[in-house]
Structure 1
Amino acid sequence: MNRQKKSNYIILVLVCLIMLNTGTILIKTYYSREDKEIFNNVEKRKISSQWLIPILGRTSSIISFYQNQDYNERFNLKDIIKEKIYSISSLDFLKKEDNNDKEMLEEDNEENDELHTTVLEDQVIIDRLDEYESLIIVKDSEGKSSVESIPEPLNIKKMKINKEKPYILLYHTHGTEAYLPIKDSQYHTTEKKYNVVTIGEIMTKILEANGHKVDHVEIYHDLPSYNKSYSRSLNTVNKKMEEEKNLKVFLDVHRDGIGDDANYRERALSKAKTKINGVDVATFSIVVGPDSPNKEQVLSFAKYIKAVSDTLYPNLCTGIIIKPKGKYNQFVSDYSALIEVGSNLNTIEEASESAKLIGEILTLVLDSIRE
Structure 2
Amino acid sequence: MTGMACLSTVIAVLSFTLKLPQAFLDGQNSLSVLAAGLTAPDGARNLFAQRAPENTEAQSQLGQETAGSQPSQPKESSSSASPSSQASSSQASSSESASSSQPEEPSENSENPGGEVPYTGGPLEEGEAAYPINEVQIGPSGTQYENFSIKSTCQTQIDIGAELAKRPDVNIQKNGEPEVLIMHTHTCEAYLDIDTGQYPESFYPRTTDERYSVVAVGDAITQTLNDAGIGTLHDKTIHDNPSYNGSYYRSEQTVKDDLAEYPGIQVVLDIHRDALGNNETGKTKPTFVVDGKKAAQIMIIAGCDDDGTWEFPDWEYNLRLALQIQQTAETMYPGMTRPMNFCPSQYNMHLTHGSLLIEVGTDANTIEEATYTGELLGNVLASVLNQLQG
TM-score by length of 2: 0.60
Contact 1:129-1:303 at 8 Å conserved across structures:
no
Match of 2:144 in 1: 128
Q: Deviations over 1:50-85 (max 9, x none)?
A: xxxxxxxxxxxxxxxx84735544555876963354
Distance apart, 1:86 and its partner CA? 4.3
The structure with more radius of gyration: 1
> Is 1:369 equivalent to 2:369 in the alignment?
no
Contact 2:164-2:323 at 8 Å conserved across structures:
no
Contact 2:170-2:267 at 8 Å conserved across structures:
no
Distance apart, 1:128 and its partner CA? 3.2
Contact 1:112-1:227 at 8 Å conserved across structures:
no
Contact 1:257-1:344 at 8 Å conserved across structures:
yes
Match of 2:220 in 1: 202
Match of 1:193 in 2: 211
> How many equivalent residue pairs?
267
Distance apart, 1:206 and its partner CA? 0.7
Helix, strand or coil at the partner of 1:197: helix
Q: Deviations over 1:309-359 (max 9, x none)?
A: 111110011221123x32011111111121111111201111111111111
Contact 2:172-2:388 at 8 Å conserved across structures:
no
Distance apart, 1:210 and its partner CA? 0.9
CA distance in 2, matches of 1:370, 1:308: 16
Distance 1:165 1:224, change over 3 A: same
1:83-102 superposed matches below 5 A = 83=37, 85-86=39-40
1:1-371 superposed matches below 5 A = 67=5, 69=7, 72-73=10-11, 82-83=36-37, 85-86=39-40, 110-113=73-76, 115-118=81-84, 128-130=144-146, 154-156=165-167, 157-159=169-171, 161=173, 163-181=175-193, 186-261=204-279, 268-269=284-285, 272-291=286-305, 292-323=312-343, 325-371=344-390
Distance 1:343 1:74, change over 3 A: closer
Distance apart, 1:262 and its partner CA? 7.8
Contact 1:187-1:344 at 8 Å conserved across structures:
yes
> What amino acid does structure 1 have at the position aligned with 2:262?
E
Match of 1:16 in 2: none
Contact 2:171-2:388 at 8 Å conserved across structures:
yes
Distance apart, 1:158 and its partner CA? 4.9
CA distance in 1, matches of 2:212, 2:270: 17
Contact 1:180-1:347 at 8 Å conserved across structures:
yes
Helix, strand or coil at the partner of 1:310: helix
> What amino acid does structure 2 have at the position aligned with 1:110?
Q
Contact 1:285-1:317 at 8 Å conserved across structures:
yes
Contact 1:127-1:318 at 8 Å conserved across structures:
no
Contact 1:310-1:316 at 8 Å conserved across structures:
yes
Between Structure 1 and Structure 2, the one with more helix by share is: 1
CA distance in 1, matches of 2:142, 2:365: 22
Contact 1:194-1:348 at 8 Å conserved across structures:
yes
TM-score by length of 1: 0.63
CA distance in 2, matches of 1:234, 1:213: 21
> What amino acid does structure 2 have at the position aligned with 1:288?
A
CA distance in 2, matches of 1:234, 1:206: 25
Match of 1:95 in 2: none
Q: Deviations over 1:271-300 (max 9, x none)?
A: x00111111111111011223322221111
Contact 2:221-2:374 at 8 Å conserved across structures:
yes
> What amino acid does structure 1 have at the position aligned with 2:75?
N
Helix, strand or coil at the partner of 1:227: coil
CA distance in 2, matches of 1:320, 1:259: 19
CA distance in 2, matches of 1:132, 1:110: 25
Instruction: Give unmatched runs, 5+ long, in structure 1.
Output: 1-22, 28-65, 91-107, 134-151
Distance 1:116 1:223, change over 3 A: farther
Instruction: Give unmatched runs, 5+ long, in structure 2.
Output: 20-34, 45-70, 86-95, 99-139, 150-162, 194-198, 306-311
Distance 1:175 1:72, change over 3 A: closer
Distance 1:87 1:163, change over 3 A: same
Q: Deviations over 1:161-207 (max 9, x none)?
A: 46221111111111100001496574111111110001000111111
CA distance in 2, matches of 1:232, 1:285: 23
CA distance in 2, matches of 1:173, 1:215: 15
Contact 1:155-1:297 at 8 Å conserved across structures:
no
Distance 1:286 1:262, change over 3 A: farther
CA distance in 2, matches of 1:185, 1:88: 26
Contact 1:167-1:248 at 8 Å conserved across structures:
yes
